[in-house]
Every structure is written in C-alpha cells, then in structure tokens.
Amino acid sequence: MTPSGPTLAFVESPVQLLNVLEWIHARATAPADGRPLLDGVPSQVRSAAAPRGGPGAGAGPGAGRVRIVVLPPTDPMSRGQLRRMAALARDEGHEVRWQEARGGRLAPLKALAALAGDVRAARTVVVGDPFSRYVQLLLTLVRAEQLVVVDDGTATMEFIAQTARGERLVRWHRVGGGGLAGRVRELAYAPVSATARRRFTPADGAGRHVEVFSSMPVTAHGAMTLRVNDFAWTRARFGPPRLIKGTDLVGTSLVETGVVDPARYLDAVRALTRVHGATRYFAHRRESPEKLRALSEATGLEIVRPDLPLELIARRGPVGRTIVSFPSTVVHTLPYALTGTGVTVAVCDIDPDWLTGSASPRARGFLAGVTDSARGVRRLPAQAAPAAG
C-alpha cells in the first residue's frame, strides 16, 4: 500500500536517516504484490559483490521524492553525521529540511508551528523514534493514511513488545526519577503519549496502516505489517570493502546511559583487544572524549570517530576481517550490510556483574535478548572479556 500524495519523514539521528533511505529504496524495489517479507539474515560467505552504482543506484521507477525533516540533537558528533547523511539524501534527489527543535524552552513549540501544515498535508509519515516525545507530539497532528516506523536501533524490539502488551512507551534503559516535578510532567504529557500509542496500534478497518521497517528480529501484531530492512541501498551504493588484517571493535554508549560500569567496560575492552588482536575501536557517537582517551591509553587501540553510521563505514571499508561488538544494533544490521564480503561479525555477552546499581531492572533481560536473537553472528561469552582485572 503506497498512498498518493506527499511523503514526510522525521529523523533525529544519523541511523534513522540511513534507514529512511533504505525504506525508500525497499518501497521502490518491492515485489508487485507488495508483500512485506522478513527473511533470515544472509550467511556471511564470500560471494560475488553486490552491484555498485551512483546516486539512486538500484532505485526502481516510483522511488519518489521524499521530504525529510531533520530534528537534530545538540551533541556535535550527531549533528556532524546528520549533515553528512543529509548530503547523501540530497544526492538521492530528496528534499531535506533542517529544523532546530531543541536548545531553548520555546524551540519545540516554534518547530511544531513551522511543521504543522506539512504534517497535516502528508499522506504518508515516516518516523524513526517512536519513543521521542517530540515525534509523539507531532503525531497528534498527523492525518496520514500510512504511518511508517523505521529502525532506531534495538529500540524497535522494545517498541514492538510494548505496543503488543498495550503498555506506555518507555525506553528500556530509562529508570524512574525526577521527583514530584517529574511526576507532574509525566501526568501533563500522558494524553499526548496515549494518542501516539493509539496511532501506532490502529484498529482493523480504521482506514490507517502502520508499517514497521526493521532489521531486528521482531514480529508484527494487530494491524501492523513488517517489511525487512536488508540494507539493499547501502549494498548497492557502497563497497564491497577492502579487508584488512586484525579485528575491529565497535564501541557502545552503555556506560554513558548508566547501564554498564566504566571500570568493568574498560577491563572488557582491554581483554577483547588482547584475545582477538584488535587494532581499531569504532566509537559510538555518544561516547565521551574522556572515556575514549582512557580506552586508548589502556589498550593502544586506534580510536576512530566515524563520520557516518557504521553500516556505511564498514561497507565502504577498509574493515577488519572480524568485527566484535557488545549487544547493540550493529549485531543485527552489519550481517546484512556486509553479506558476501567474508567479514565475520561477533557479539560479546554482557556479564550481569558489569551492570551498575542504577541500571534499569529490564537492562539484563533486554541486553541478553539482543544477543540471543542476533542471526548470522558468532557468539562470544562474557568470560572472553572478564570484568575483573
């Protein structure tokens, strides 16, 4: 189902913008019957390279021009990656609008007023973070026949689970707090959250359609449909990469979100570096400079701050023959992006002892689920990266 009329996408991170481009490509090249298929991850064996192409490579007729609204965060790394992803989107022929919605008390209201007309006129609305309060606020204005949710990492798994259970949308790593003021804000925001939840779970026959576009191992429920994100646009546009000796490590922001203890994480990275001969560490865009400096000094790893999402960086190369990550989005996305290249993706378990005392009660189960459900990867036990020095 592809309604006529304008398509409007809202993104708040580089990977969301990448996944919007993947969705546009997948929609343009979908089978004639429009079936949203979610197949297994291609096996990681060496094969013929995916076809390369310039802007719009692999896009079939009807790819369509999409209006993409970037609602940037405030941190410089995310903003820099978003600007480079926006340039790629423009190269593909899409209109990109940069709309500041943060940085001041009135900024969200000004942005909402500036976007209200476009939101009401759109026939298809694409969002990248269903947990975002700003996106939920925009959904109160949506009249679109079709709502599409593209991956915002492993948060998609929690989104599907919470909507299936009829729960309010809360990020898995979030813990209660804020005192009385926080509770008052939650009560004031409750009607907006409830409206968003209803938009994401329409009743059968309501004339509205919700599609989830995902690389995650999720199952649609109710009136939702599911379309696989197999990173076909990335594979057509970039690579195959040149492979180099050694192992690349992928960083995580689990320390920054208060889930994993900093000292335990440092010990784990040090052990992985020694055991697997790692030479480079691809930093998450939210990792702090102080943490990265300590990692470099303790391990001798080359710290790489990617200027694009890791799926694109790895596909362009050069990249190590083995990529090791902690439980995160990339253990689900890299096997797709790197299929046929001969790269092995491995995931290292998080030992429960690494978690902080303030970590969400759901953290242990959620992280284990991310690892257990990863397909086409090699599993590394937490003992391979002992937390004790």
Please confirm whether the linkage preceding 240 is cis (ω < 30° from 0): yes
| pLDDT score of 12 | 94
Question: pLDDT tier at 44 (50, 70, 90 boundaries)?
Answer: very low
Is the separation of the CB atoms in 320 and 341 below 8 Å?
no
| pLDDT score of 104 | 75
Percentage of the chain modeled with pLDDT above 70:
84
Angle 155-156-160 from CA coordinates, rounded to 5°? 120
Is the separation of the CB atoms in 334 and 311 below 8 Å?
yes
Is the separation of the CB atoms in 18 and 82 below 8 Å?
no
Q: Would the pLDDT of 92 be above 80?
A: yes
At residue 336, the 3 state secondary structure works out as helix
Q: Would the pLDDT of 57 be above 50?
A: no
Residue spans of beta strands (DSSP E) within the chain: 7-11, 67-70, 95-98, 124-127, 146-150, 209-214, 224-228, 243-250, 278-282, 302-304, 319-325, 344-348, 378-380
Question: pLDDT tier at 45 (50, 70, 90 boundaries)?
Answer: very low
Q: What is the C-alpha to C-alpha distance for residues 248 and 282, in angstroms, rounded to an integer?
A: 7
| pLDDT score of 184 | 63
| pLDDT score of 189 | 66
Beta strands 344-348 and 302-304, pairing class: unpaired
Q: Would the pLDDT of 132 be above 90?
A: no
Q: Give CA 257 to chain center in angstroms.
A: 16
DSSP-assigned states of every residue in 280-311 = EEE--TT--HHHHHHHHHHH-PEEE--SS-HH
Count CB-CB contacts under 10 A for residue 356: 16
Q: Which residue has the higher pLDDT, 136 or 43?
A: 136
| pLDDT score of 381 | 76
Bridge partners (DSSP) listed for residue 29 = none
The residues, ordered by sequence, that sit 6+ positions from 11 with a Cβ below 8 Å of its Cβ are: 17, 20, 68, 69, 70, 71, 82, 128
Q: Which residue has the higher pLDDT, 216 or 52?
A: 216
243 secondary structure, DSSP code = E
| pLDDT score of 54 | 43
Q: Which of 126, 25, 15, 18 has its CA nearest to residue 69? A: 126
Residue spans of beta strands (DSSP E) within 152-208: none
277: left (phi over 0), alpha (psi -120 to 50) or beta: left
pTM of the shown model: 0.86
Count CB-CB contacts under 10 A for residue 80: 16
Q: Which of 85, 97, 79, 69 has its CA nearest to residue 21? A: 85
Average pLDDT, the chain: 84
Is the separation of the CB atoms in 325 and 249 below 8 Å?
yes
Predicted confidence (pLDDT) per residue in 243-270, tens digit: 999 899 999 999 998 999 999 999 999 9
- Report phi then psi at 305, rounded to 5: -100, 100
Percentage of the chain modeled with pLDDT above 90:
52
Q: Which of 85, 177, 99 has its CA nearest to residue 138? A: 99
